[in-house]
Structure 1
Amino acid sequence: MFNKRLLAILGICFMMVLAGCSGKQESKKLEKVGLLVPDTINDQVWGTNGYKGMLKIQNAYGTDIFYKENINSQALVERAVEEFSHKGVDIVFGHGNEYADYFNKLAPDYPDIHFVSFNGNADEKNTTSLKFEAHAMGFFGGMTAAHYSKTGTIGILATHKWQPEVKGFVEGAKFERNDIRVATEYVENWDDREKALQLLDKIIAEDADVVYPAGDGYNVPVIDKLKANGLHAIGYVSDQSDLGKDTVLTSTVQHVDQLYVLVADQFVKGKLKSGNLHFDFADGVISLSPFSPEVDKVFQKKINADINRYIKTGKLPNK
């Protein structure tokens, strides 16, 4: 009787061990990573940050990295992914929201590749979409612009109305100064520099002295023009203080390169989830860059306290 009970207990323990092992995430090797960009890695903003992310993965894991530029259609994506597959690529990053749909169609044919895109909807088990929660960064950018403005009018030159940072910018500006006026224009294309500069003229004509160019393909020439006119900017996506510390009051930074490494870490640990993943200030991948000397220290201290409170509680200052 004793032996039977002992065997039963041992059997149960053995089953529990097996169950525990089966629930454990298996680590993976990360040997090769591919990047697709719709335009170029030399735009100084979005595309450049994606390439920097690849370099950080290479440095962290010793991986081989591959990239292709101007991949902006389903046919071009299919051709690039087929080539990456022959090379043995483990992860393909599609550096833009358009890649989510492309990858959803392709992913079932490449079960050994994990497809990662941005700001889209990932539907397959080996697809993931990374989403920056941009409302808060816009809010703090709007606070800064409104606080600094001498004319009482600021501007936002965005690409699309649906951008969360647009609403956030206006809310933050109104929170800081309820009498502030926000001139808003939409380029409707991430890379149309000519149209962006034409719309900037309209914003300047409305007496705006601080402008937030919320589009990665045109914000560098927009900031250059603001600088030439003695006006100011809130930088977008990357720290753009190198365009003029007296011109760029601060930047709403999306640390794309750090997010790339975070994804690689999760993949290697077997913890990279499919579906849509959201990231904000608390995840360490969104921040405001250091302020220009033009921004007074008292305000800097106040807004940094607001940001720390948001990180801890998820509540913006107007809540």
Structure 2
Amino acid sequence: MVNRFGIILLCLLLLAACGEPKASGKLHKVGLLVPETINDQVWGTKGFNGMLKIQSKFHVEVFYKEGMTSQAVVEQAVKEFDQKGVNLIFGHGSEYAEFFNNISKQYPNIHFVSFNGDAKNKNTTSLTFKSHAMGFFGGMVASHMSHNNKVGVLAAYEWQPEIEGFYQGALAENKDTKVSIEYVGNWDDKQKAIQLADQMLKNGVDVVYPAGDGFNVPVIEQVKEHGLYVIGYVSEQSDLGESTVLTSTIQQVDKLYVKVAEQYNNGNLHSGNLSYDFQDNVISLGKFSPLVSKEFIGQLNRQIDHYKKTGELPK
């Protein structure tokens, strides 16, 4: 079976060796569904790394399927997972919440986990990163390091909480900072993202926050060519240029998946919609560029610690 782009869907990978000890609790085998590929080096790769860590910690078999973009292919994948004894399935995206709501009652022995959706059944859970504070601290760094007092956010969609967070953080650091915000309208439209970023740079923006995991890497490469700066998104992106990437706002999906698997294994994974923030140690800022002063980094880390303890952002 192939999808409309001709990608082979029956792409199972067994990661655990036969004969290894199994998890001592409720967890048997784990499945992952991704809409595109596990080789994108950003979102899909982070989900796959989560599976590797689950396999390593719990010594269970884990599987994945790529190109899962419709109800029909998801239903077929879940059927195959069920036949293999999988009882915890991660749908690596917001689209899977509705897919899982539609079929989860047919599989009462499987728990279905999705992202950024609305889980409605007792064996479904949706995970959400509370990314407002993540964007806030990224905005502080951008504003602090901007020579022109002009920073820009290149977002996928208006609903992303990190966008408002970035705006507020930039102004909290320097009230004279001007924040430009543009929306690509898609996670993966690299061409449009590059065009919008180019216009920002022409308008004097010297720090860009490309808040879309499908287009952030080419945008970073574009900004690097101009000798300007970025705030990385979702992954640690300092390896793309420590003189370009001032820091990264990291969502540690792999660590969160291990946390969820552990909760399920212990019988205490809740259904419904769950959210996670800095306090849960699954959101963080990444490595700082050597261009960022140690004094500012120390100040920022103290503010992050204060936020973890109190939930209060700098004013």
Please give the secondary structure, in 1, of the residue aligned with 2:261. helix
Q: Using the alignment, how far apart are the partners of 2:40 and 2:226 within structure 1?
A: 23
Q: Which residue of 1 aligns with 2:8?
A: none
Please give the secondary structure, in 1, of the residue aligned with 2:53. helix
Q: Which runs of 5+ in 2 are unaligned?
A: 1-23
Write the mapping of 1:260-271 to structure 2, written as runs, cut at 5 A.
260-271=257-268
Please give the secondary structure, in 2, of the residue aligned with 1:65. strand
TM-score (structure 2 length as normaliser): 0.91
* Equivalent of 2:177 in 160, 175, 180: 180
Residue 270 of structure 2 aligns with an amino acid whose one-letter code is K
* Equivalent of 2:156 in 159, 174, 194: 159
- Structure number with greater Rg is 1
Please give the secondary structure, in 2, of the residue aligned with 1:233. strand
Q: Which residue of 2 aligns with 1:206?
A: 203
Write the mapping of 1:274-289 to structure 2, written as runs, cut at 5 A.
274-289=271-286
Counterpart contact for 2:42–2:234, Cα < 8 Å:
yes
- C-alpha displacement of 1:90: 1.1
Q: Which residue of 2 aligns with 1:224?
A: 221
Please give the secondary structure, in 2, of the residue aligned with 1:67. strand
Q: Using the alignment, how far apart are the partners of 2:25 and 2:101 within structure 1?
A: 23
- C-alpha displacement of 1:28: 3.3
* Equivalent of 2:25 in 9, 28, 47: 28
Q: Does 1:97 align with 2:130?
A: no
* Equivalent of 2:139 in 133, 139, 142: 142
Q: Using the alignment, how far apart are the partners of 1:66 and 1:195 within structure 2?
A: 34
What is the alpha-carbon root mean square deviation over aligned residues?
0.8
Range with bigger deviation, 29-38 or 138-147 = 29-38
**What is the percentage of aligned positions where both structures have the same residue?**
60
* Equivalent of 2:45 in 32, 45, 48: 48
- C-alpha displacement of 1:79: 1.1
Per-residue CA deviation, residues 192-215 of structure 1 (Å, 9 max, x unaligned), is 111111111111111111100000
Q: How many residues align?
A: 292
Residue 296 of structure 1 aligns with an amino acid whose one-letter code is S
* Equivalent of 1:306 in 303, 306, 311: 303
Counterpart contact for 1:114–1:126, Cα < 8 Å:
yes
- C-alpha displacement of 1:298: 1.2
Counterpart contact for 1:237–1:254, Cα < 8 Å:
yes
Residue 159 of structure 2 aligns with an amino acid whose one-letter code is W
Q: Using the alignment, how far apart are the partners of 2:112 and 2:170 within structure 1?
A: 38
Q: Using the alignment, how far apart are the partners of 1:186 and 1:251 within structure 2?
A: 20
- C-alpha displacement of 1:31: 2.4
Q: Which residue of 2 aligns with 1:16?
A: none
Q: Which runs of 5+ in 1 are unaligned?
A: 1-26
Q: Which runs of 4+ in 1 moved over 4 A?
A: none
Q: Using the alignment, how far apart are the partners of 1:271 and 1:277 within structure 2?
A: 13
Q: Which residue of 2 aligns with 1:13?
A: none
* Equivalent of 1:251 in 248, 255, 262: 248
Counterpart contact for 2:26–2:267, Cα < 8 Å:
no
Counterpart contact for 1:184–1:203, Cα < 8 Å:
no
